[in-house]
Amino acid sequence: MAERNYTRQLATIISIDAVGFSRLMGIDDELAVAAFEERRDIIADSCVAFGGRTFGDAGDSIMAEFGNPIEALRAAFDFQGRIVALNAAVAEDMRMPFRAGINTGDVIVREGRLYGDDVNIAARLQEFAPHDGLAISETTWHHVKDKTAAEFTDLGEFMLKNIALPVRVMIAGRGGNASPAAPLAAISPAVSQQKSPPKGPPAIAVLPFAGDGGERDVGYMADGIAEDIIYGLSNTRWLSVIAKSSSFQFRDDSLGTRVIGNALGARYIVSGTLTRNGSQIRLNTSLADT
């Protein structure tokens, strides 16, 4: 029988990913690497300050381990806040935001690295998080819900890749909207499961339009068009329009319209892309029924 050279323990894992790293590498690879390393050091510093450690860096992703879920959540809020402040001093098209997923469970520890389904779940969760945001599992939520002022938006249950059982996903934000990652309409899982069918007209959300090509003025124009659509729709009686302050949190539409619609309470999602080619401007829009 082979000698057992690993241990098992309960841990809280944070999976952290740089958003748009490949795009920035295409613009200026040396600047992108320097920016990533600066933010990686911030993440490591926050994790150590709250009793955790980073491990297993791979490309533009970082993993962190904590023995306490509360401290993991505090560390995540801390490094996200510091990175947001750092990005504020950078041109918008050169910013490098991060998103993170947090899960708590049983892990295998071998030579300082962690393995197991619960590590993989954390990695899948960060794909649900908005830029500068945090997504956590219901397991972690049960550990922190009564011990923090944080707010939680329930996105529902999802089947994650290579995970046998569904996982309930929540977006976490500082209480009182003190953090850019804070959701503007926070609900608990218990409340979300008991919601009655919505009354009145169906809700529609207009997401911020993408400005293709990375040009700052195109991005401003794209946002302006989306704002004009929100204003125009707000004059109709047969639709309830989600406020811009809520819908513009979801610049990362890779979450999918069903997830975003569920989080915003919207049946319809409008998204679009603005492209400029010389003097020609092209706008592509889509309307999704979630």
Radius of gyration from C-alpha coordinates of the chain = 20
Q: Find, among 134, 140, 102, 138, the residue nearest to 121 by Cα.
A: 102
Residues 276 and 213: beta-carbon distance below 8 Å: yes
pLDDT at 21 over 70: yes
SS (H, E, C) the chain: CCCCCCEEEEEEEEEEEECCHHHHHHHCHHHHHHHHHHHHHHHHHHHHHCCCEEEEEECCEEEEEECCHHHHHHHHHHHHHHHHHHHHCCCHHHCCCEEEEEEEEEEEEECCEEECHHHHHHHHHHHHCCCCCEEEEHHHHHHHCCCCCCEEEEEEEECCCCCCCCEEEEEEECHHHCCCCCCCCCCCHHHHHCCCCCCCCCEEEECCCEEECCCHHHHHHHHHHHHHHHHHHCCCCCCEECCHHHHCCCCCHHHCHHHHHHHHCCCEEEEEEEEEECCEEEEEEEEEEC
pLDDT at 177 over 80: no
Q: Quickly state the pLDDT bin for 137 (edges 50, 70, 90).
A: very high
Q: Quickly state the pLDDT bin for 215 (edges 50, 70, 90).
A: low
Tell me what pLDDT residue 138 has: 94
Mean pLDDT of 238-244: 87
pLDDT at 198 over 70: no
50 - beta bridge partners?
Answer: none
CATH 3.30.70.1230 residue window(s) in the chain: 7-193
Tell me what pLDDT residue 176 has: 53
CATH 3.40.190.150 fits 7-193, yes or no: no
Mean pLDDT of 255-275: 84
Residues 32 and 19: beta-carbon distance below 8 Å: no
